């Protein structure tokens, strides 16, 4: 009797572990999301720290660099001009350049003053067309799409369920093609996910085979092409515009701007709490 009492807890533990080991269906849905980002086409304006650092690098560059050919020619022109004014030295007039370095510098300055930069405002900016990636050329743009989560449709990163036999990278490529078509050209930066988030479904949506979702995020750069079908309401949004999609209960200050998929994490957290 004493022996049975001692081994009974161990027997129950072994049976529990064995029953879990025999379970073939996972209890979590494996989801793969894709963060497609269009990088800035035009260099963004420098902030105050970047401007100071640029000035410091320029000062160091000037102090440590040798004189350029233009500077040396400018000094030689000054010496030749002084010799021409002086009668004590014989100067070969033919050897003196008729076009001095100063003349070339003045011509270049005049040409620069007539140059006008092109406008960075595109037709998509004028029309407020967020479905076109040719907008906000100085900003990062992220592709978002309407995704059905339970009974709701949320505008988030394209995502879909993993299928048996696929790698997560293959799932990401398939999901992006299903959502956006074959014309969209992107470059995945890694075979491994760049982010992960896990959340449980509401109690009413849980089943014996699925109690929640494990979402793996992949990061890709936009290379060209267009999304197939504007009727699906695909949008290219800046990070500030992404914040506006968050529900009021989610604090924007909690979003780290240097994390590519942090906004999506906040969406998942808000959906879990709703």
Tokens linked to 157: 């990163």
235 phi, psi to nearest 5 deg = -135, 145
Task: Check if the beta carbon of residue 268 is closer than 8 Å to that of residue 197.
Answer: yes
Higher-confidence residue: 235 or 9?
Answer: 235
pLDDT band at 272 (very low <50, low <70, confident <90, very high): very low
User: What's the pLDDT at 141?
Assistant: 93
- Token look-up 């760049």 returns 194
Residue-wise pLDDT tens digits, 115-130: 988 888 899 899 989 8
Identify the structural domains of the chain with CATH numbers, from first to last.
Answer: 26-42+126-254 (3.90.79.10), 48-114 (no CATH)
Tokens linked to 59: 């000062």
Report the candidate in 137, 132, 157 with the shortest Cα–Cα distance to residue 225: 132
Report the candidate in 36, 226, 247 with the shortest Cα–Cα distance to residue 154: 247
User: What's the pLDDT at 59?
Assistant: 94
Does residue 255 have a pLDDT over 60? no
Please give the average per-residue pLDDT across 178-194, as a whole number. Answer: 90
């Amino acid at each position: 009797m004493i022996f049975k009492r001692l081994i009974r807890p161990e027997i129950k533990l072994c049976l529990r572990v064995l029953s879990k080991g025999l379970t073939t269906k996972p209890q979590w849905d494996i989801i793969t999301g894709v963060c497609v980002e269009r990088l800035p086409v035009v260099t963004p304006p420098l902030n105050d720290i970047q401007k100071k650092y640029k000035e410091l690098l320029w000062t160091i560059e000037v102090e440590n660099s040798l004189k350029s050919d233009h500077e040396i020619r400018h000094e030689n022109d000054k010496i030749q001009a002084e010799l021409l004014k002086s009668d004590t030295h014989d100067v070969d007039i033919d050897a003196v350049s008729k076009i001095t370095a100063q003349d070339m510098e003045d011509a270049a300055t005049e040409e620069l003053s007539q140059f006008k930069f092109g406008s960075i405002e595109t037709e998509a900016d004028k029309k407020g067309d967020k479905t076109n990636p040719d907008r906000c050329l100085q900003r990062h743009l992220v592709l978002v799409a309407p995704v059905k989560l339970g009974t709701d449709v949320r505008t988030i990163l394209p995502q879909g369920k993993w299928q048996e036999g696929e790698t997560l990278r293959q799932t990401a490529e398939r999901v992006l093609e299903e959502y956006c078509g074959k014309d969209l050209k992107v470059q995945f930066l890694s075979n491994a996910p760049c982010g992960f988030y896990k959340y449980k479904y509401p109690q009413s949506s849980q089943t014996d085979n699925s109690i929640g979702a494990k979402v793996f995020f992949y990061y890709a750069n936009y290379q060209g092409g267009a999304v197939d079908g504007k009727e699906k309401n695909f949008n290219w949004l800046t990070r500030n515009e992404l914040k506006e999609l968050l529900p009021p209960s989610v604090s924007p200050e909690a979003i780290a701007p240097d994390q590519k998929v942090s906004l999506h994490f906040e969406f998942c957290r808000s959906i879990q709490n709703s």
